Amino acid sequence: MDMWWKGAVTYQVYPRSFQDSNGDGVGDLKGITARLPYLADLGVDAVWLSPFFRSPMRDMGYDVSDYTDVDPVFGTLKDFDALVARAHGLGLKIVIDQVLSHSSDQHPFFAESRASRTGPRADWYVWADPRPDGTPPCNWLSVFGGPAFTWDGRRRQFYLHNFLTSQPDFNYHNPAVQDWALSVLRFWLDRGVDGFRFDTVNYFFHDPQFRDNPADHRVKDEPETSPYGMQYHLYDKNRPENLAWLVRLRGLLDEYGAASVGEVGESHHAIEMMGDYSAPGRLHQCYSFEMLGKKFSAAVFRDRIEGFFKGAPKGWPMWAFSNHDVSRHVSRWAAFGADPEALAKQAAALLLSFEGSVCLWQGEELGQTDTELSFEELTDPQGIAFWPAPVGRDNTRTPMVWEDGPQGGFTAGTPWLPVKPPQLARNVAGQAGRAGSVLEFYRAMLAFRRATPALRHGRTQVLDTPEPVLAFQRGQGPGAVLCLFNLSPKAVALAFDAPLTPAGPVLAATLAKGVLTLGPNAAVFLPLP
């Protein structure tokens, strides 16, 4: 099999927010196709498209009503085929989201399932009888707030939804559901896609006994913003049956030579689960939210990387600092940066030197920051439900900014989320070709990673350095690279008796009289003999 994915860099595109081609204020497939040369020039290997399937858009496409068609707001299947052909012509792989653990309640299958307890799709979704007192069968909670069960008067049963009430969960204990899911993948593989990103990959199976989740065993000083985080999710997800299903998925992918990445949404043992799910014969790679939080220290990065490869030497991770579900890292880690541009460039140097595959979130190559939104501007159900904190996900999903002009060059109409001045200031046209810009630093780092086998495939040896210095070696022997970072806004001095002959881009590092000074948010890559 072609191992293109191993060590590759994937760029996540959120179709609603990348480029609008028809002036309706919403990004679309034709717009993405027109911008593919930008991504090829940036130097990434693959493009991940968030959902573009038919959907009532209650959760912005993560509630699918037809898995084998394009929602009209994004275009047509013909537009999708043209996008794939253009990407392949530019040397880019196309990876598409698959949201298979749940559907929209507008999907015809759910209409059939709720209509009767004896119909052909009666058990395609997760149904449960009430307890004698009329309450749900157990204490499971929805990620978006409230119980994970909603009463349906037609069946006189509860149905399970780990997210919105309009996102009922499929019953993967039913082999027919698994067969159908594989047929969906085959449909897109036959259209030429190179792989899939599997949403909520640890949510496919539930405990059929509906046992109560225990309380989270970790001591908390105060309640979580969302009660969901107060449970230890042993029974509503993370079930052992997931592993056999991943083997079935891998079997189909291997038929086509396609790649896969799974999203592990879990706060307990996520690194171990990433390794388990990406073990030989299962998914090719996994990512979790372990680097998508507020912690920014040498210990955090050292522990995540060492922890993965020690615990799962045969697994493979995909690392990311931001995505469509979390606050942008330049905003999230602002306290650790001398200034936003310095932090943005250091983040690129860090992420693109890690062992594993890498995923970039659209706009991060510009040093883009979160957009401050009022309640009236929100569209995200999570943000609306938990206002005012957390704000939700709209602040990271605002449109891509291509130029310093009306709506940032994203649309000729009114954008679905606003483009505000702080984001408008960080645009592609203003940074392209400008020495020292965040965009040009990303291009340099991507070229350095691509040209340096040790950064794509070399093993990691982490060195014992005090905070805030992170140091590790990638690879062994000729071609090995020493990676040094100062994860603070204050300079750090190190005794250093070797000549400073950088192997790649340098950020705020100087050597004089045997002292290596790592300035604020410094990064330097040194060749090893």
Contact between 258 and 282 (Cβ < 8 Å): no
Please say if the pLDDT value at position 224 is more than 80.
no
Q: Cα–Cα distances in Å, from 525 out to 294, 356, 478, 506, 515?
A: 26, 18, 14, 7, 16
* Domain definitions of the chain by residue range: 9-103+174-450, 459-527
Reported confidence tier of residue 392, pLDDT bands at 50, 70, 90: confident
User: Given this model, what pLDDT does residue 529 score?
Assistant: 82
pLDDT mean over 107-125: 97
User: Given this model, what pLDDT does residue 75 score?
Assistant: 98
Please say if the pLDDT value at position 294 is more than 80.
yes
pLDDT mean over 404-415: 97
Whole-model pTM? 0.97
Backbone angles phi, psi at 449, to 5 degrees: -60, -45
Q: Does domain 9-103+174-450 have CATH number 2.40.40.20?
A: no
Radius of gyration, CA atoms only, the chain: 23
Please say if the pLDDT value at position 184 is more than 80.
yes
58-106 pLDDT, tens digit per residue, is 999 999 999 999 999 999 999 999 999 999 999 999 999 999 999 999 9
Q: Distance (Å, rounded) from C-alpha 379 to C-alpha 385?
A: 11
Is 467 assigned a catalytic role? no
Q: What DSSP string runs through 34-88?
A: HHHHHHHHHT-SEEEEPP-EE---TTTTSS-SEEEEE-TTT--HHHHHHHHHHHH
Neighbours of 451 (CB within 10 A): 11
Please say if the pLDDT value at position 218 is more than 90.
no
Orientation angle between helical segments 77-89 and 29-42, nearest 10 degrees: 10
Least reliable range by pLDDT among 147-156, 178-187, 213-222, 232-241: 213-222
Backbone angles phi, psi at 470, to 5 degrees: -110, 130
User: Given this model, what pLDDT does residue 388 score?
Assistant: 87
Share of the chain above pLDDT 90, in %: 93
Please give, one letter per residue, the 3-state secondary structure of 289-328.
Answer: CCCCCCCCCHHHHHHHHHHHHHHCCCCCEEECCCCCCCCC
Please say if the pLDDT value at position 287 is more than 70.
yes
- Which of 194, 227, 231 has its CA nearest to residue 213? 231
pLDDT mean over 284-310: 95
Q: Distance (Å, rounded) from C-alpha 311 to C-alpha 198?
A: 22
Q: Distance (Å, rounded) from C-alpha 325 to C-alpha 310?
A: 28
For residue 160 the two structure tokens come to: 């399970």
Orientation angle between helical segments 175-189 and 241-256, nearest 10 degrees: 30
9-23 pLDDT, tens digit per residue, is 999 999 999 999 999
| Given the residues 255, 339, 372, 467, the one annotated as active site | 255
Please say if the pLDDT value at position 219 is more than 70.
no
Q: Taking all residues of the chain, what is their mean pLDDT, rounded to a whole number?
A: 96
Please say if the pLDDT value at position 441 is more than 90.
yes
- Which of 494, 503, 508, 505 has its CA nearest to residue 463? 494
Q: When comparing pLDDT for 187 and 223, which is higher?
A: 187
Alpha helices in 190-339, H assignment, sequence order: 241-256, 270-277, 298-311, 329-332
Please say if the pLDDT value at position 460 is more than 90.
yes
Please say if the pLDDT value at position 180 is more than 80.
yes
Please say if the pLDDT value at position 164 is more than 80.
yes
Please say if the pLDDT value at position 225 is more than 90.
no
Reported confidence tier of residue 249, pLDDT bands at 50, 70, 90: very high
Please say if the pLDDT value at position 276 is more than 70.
yes
Please say if the pLDDT value at position 118 is more than 80.
yes
132-145 pLDDT, tens digit per residue, is 999 999 999 999 99
Residue range 459-527, CATH number: 2.60.40.1180
C-alpha distance across the termini of the chain, in Å: 33
Is 199 assigned a catalytic role? yes
Contact between 419 and 399 (Cβ < 8 Å): yes
| Given the residues 45, 59, 79, 199, the one annotated as active site | 199
Reported confidence tier of residue 500, pLDDT bands at 50, 70, 90: confident
Q: When comparing pLDDT for 49 and 225, which is higher?
A: 49
361-370 pLDDT, tens digit per residue, is 999 999 999 9
User: Given this model, what pLDDT does residue 220 score?
Assistant: 67
CB-facing half-sphere around the CA of 306: CA atoms within 13 A: 14
pLDDT mean over 401-425: 97
516-528 pLDDT, tens digit per residue, is 999 999 999 999 9
